Chain A
Amino acid sequence: MSSPEQDPRPESAGAGARSRRGVKVELVDDVEKSLYARRQKIYPREVHGVFATLRVTAVLVLLGLFYGVAWLSWDGQQLLLFDLPARQFHVFGMLFFPQDFLYLTFMLIIAALTLFFFTALAGRLWCGYACPQTVWTEVFLWIERKIEGDRPRQMKLDKSPLGARKFAIKGAKHLVWVLFSLWTGFTFVGYFTPITELGARALEFSLGPWETFWIFFYGFATYGNAGWMREQVCIYMCPYARFQSAMFDRDTLIISYDSERGEPRGARRRGSDPKAAGLGDCIDCTLCVQVCPTGIDIRNGLQYQCIACASCIDVCDEVMDKMGYPRGLVRYTTENAVSGKQTHVVRPRILVYSAILALLMVALVVSVMLRSPLELDVIRDRNALYRETSEGLVENVYELKIVNMDERAHRFRLSLEGPESLALITEEPEIAVDAASVRVVVASARIDPARLSQRSTEIRFRIDSLDEEELGADAVARFLGPTPSAR
């Protein structure tokens, strides 16, 4: 063992830390003998480097989108609003109704396939950079670091007895966490009920009971998952973590420790020749373990707990630089590359995923574009089959439901097609329907029974917009009359 001055490893990674870690391992063994294993708190060490910068960028962009998009509006209409109380869904200028839930299903299938595609191509990119669990945990860790200090300080604080100082520091951290969580909960609810009104009501303390409940519920979920649960969400709750290996093959990008180059690991003096000492490039500083948010040792090989955050790459590269060794002892690679074979980016799996994905995306775009923003439903009056008027005509009554899914109001002219001399009776020849709303109007049709050749005749109602060409809809209905032989 080298003296501390010559030891290139950082303070807490020295022999002291090792012995502390040794105690921890025994503890786990002890606890496992009891009824259930207690979780060992993980203190991820702060890391800087290429991938850390990438992750922080991803966090800023994604959280910026989450907290920002809710406030965007156009023409007084919130751009992205799943207005549950109104049963209307505004998506960037398009309006959807509950009956359009097929599009949502479509979107979810596309999202899942995109995940499969990127997993096959580049491993757990999603986990390391884009998953909400990672993104919010990153923010919570940052807050923790700002208030409690770096990893050794946090560990020392947790070991110290509860006093005024510890209480103040922990209290401040939880206060900031709670405030941030509540803001998150508020934003989340703001995607389901108009956010400007929600904000105004929040400022007046006049939020509805359920709005308040969901803000706190989602806030609590954020606080619990990002503050307390952290890596346990990935290990115990995430289905993707369990089945992602099914999408992996030998050409998938993984984070791997080069054991060929690193082993046998061991401490050494800086500047000494490792080959002479019979050592590999791994100086066994355990920094890769200390930075790991899920507390694993990447040197033990690919593990399902690894969320591919690449923190171990960043920190190991830093150590390699200090030692004057080439970077990449821990690096992004593929199983094929590790075993000295060639890596194939384009391969059947990737082609199949891309083909299905492209097909589904085109289908979605086409079906959304072909979707008519107008719907007409006709319901026959159920009280009477038909009615005879004083003039001897037969009359049927209908209820017309006009669904205007456009973000603009429209006026429509109602017309009726059917046997000759079929007359449309309505109080409103021109029907005005507000933007994004449904109107029900009553109309009836009359005809001389002599003109009817059968008991039930097909007729067709039609609405045509008076203010926009080519906007129209029709619906088929049945016109009932007396049986011709009974006349």
Chain B
Amino acid sequence: MTTGRPDDVQGAGERIPRVQLVSAVVWPAFVMAGVATAVFFTFLDPVHVLECTGEAPLGRTAAYSLGFFMFWALCIATGAGTAYFLRPEVPPRPPRPRTEELS
């Protein structure tokens, strides 16, 4: 049975707990967002970037934080996509028996 609900992921005929599904998407995304933020801002000082683009002045802490959440959102989107496409295909319903066959 597939209800189309996000927690209805089936693997080898088993359902996994919802907390596992959510953790499996959000948590690795958090870790990778942390790595991405660290690498990105190692090479780019947000203060210099913002100076060049002439954007509104934004402190480094704010830029780091926003950058982190941008990366996190991106990674969550990727992970959620993977989880969604991993759902097994819905087998076609067998055709309904005709009424005359029933009688």
Where the two chains meet, the residues of A that have a C-beta atom closer than 8 Å to any C-beta of B are 32, 35-39, 84-85, 87, 98-99, 101, 193, 208-211, 213-214, 229, 232, 235-237
Instruction: Indicate if the CB atoms of A85 and B61 lie closer than 8 Å.
Output: yes
Contacts of A214 in B (CB 8 A): 65
Asked whether, in the complex, the Cβ of B42 is within 8 Å of the Cβ of A98, the reply is yes
State which size class the interface on B falls in. 20 to 34
Q: Which 5 A-B pairs have the closest CB atoms?
A: A236-B20, A210-B61, A236-B23, A98-B42, A36-B18
Complex contacts, B59 vs chain A, CB 8 Å: 85, 208, 210
A99 proximity list for chain B (CB < 8 A): 42
Contact A84 B17 (CB under 8 A): no
Chain A minimum-CB-distance residue to B39: A101
Contact of B60 among A37, A85, A232, A237 (CB under 8 A): A85
Q: A98-B41, A101-B42, A236-B23 are in contact. Are A35 and B15 (CB under 8 A)?
A: yes
With a cutoff of 8 Å between Cβ atoms, the chain B residues found around residue A232 in the complex are 19, 23
Q: Report if B96 contacts A (CB, 8 A).
A: no
* C-alpha gap A101/B16 in the complex (Å): 39
Q: Are B65 and A36 in contact (CB under 8 A)?
A: no
* B17 lies within 8 A of A37 (CB): yes
Contacts from B to A (Cβ < 8 Å): 3, 5, 7-8, 15-20, 23-24, 27, 38-39, 41-43, 45, 59-62, 64-65
B27 in complex: contacting residue of A36, A209, A237, CB < 8 Å: A237
CB distance from A212 to the nearest CB of B (A): 11
How far does the Cβ of A261 sit from chain B's closest Cβ, in whole Å?
Answer: 35
Q: A98-B45, A232-B19 are in contact. List 13 more A-B contacts (CB 8 A).
A: A32-B15, A35-B5, A37-B15, A37-B17, A38-B17, A87-B60, A208-B59, A208-B61, A210-B59, A211-B61, A229-B19, A235-B20, A237-B23
Q: In the complex the two chains form, is A84's CB within 8 Å of B27's CB?
A: no
Contacts of B20 in A (CB 8 A): 235-236
List of A residues within 8 angstroms of B3 by Cβ: 35
Contacts of A85 in B (CB 8 A): 59-61
Q: How far is the CA of A35 from the CA of B4 in the complex (A)?
A: 11
A-B contact pairs, 28 of them (CB 8 A): A35-B5, A35-B7, A35-B15, A36-B16, A37-B17, A38-B17, A84-B60, A84-B61, A84-B64, A85-B59, A85-B60, A98-B43, A98-B45, A101-B38, A101-B42, A209-B62, A210-B59, A210-B62, A210-B65, A211-B61, A214-B65, A229-B19, A232-B23, A235-B20, A236-B19, A236-B24, A237-B23, A237-B27
Which residues on A sit within 8 Å (CB–CB) of B15? Answer: 32, 35-37
Query: B42, A35: Cβ atoms under 8 Å?
Result: no
State whether B61 touches A193 (Cβ < 8 A): yes
**Interfacial chain A residues near B7, Cβ < 8 Å:** 35-36
The CA-CA distance from A211 to B38 in the complex, in Å, is 18
Q: Which residues of A contact B24 (CB under 8 A)?
A: 236
**Minimum CB–CB distance for A375 against chain B, Å:** 16
- In the complex, chain A residues whose CB is within 8 Å of the CB of B42: 98-99, 101
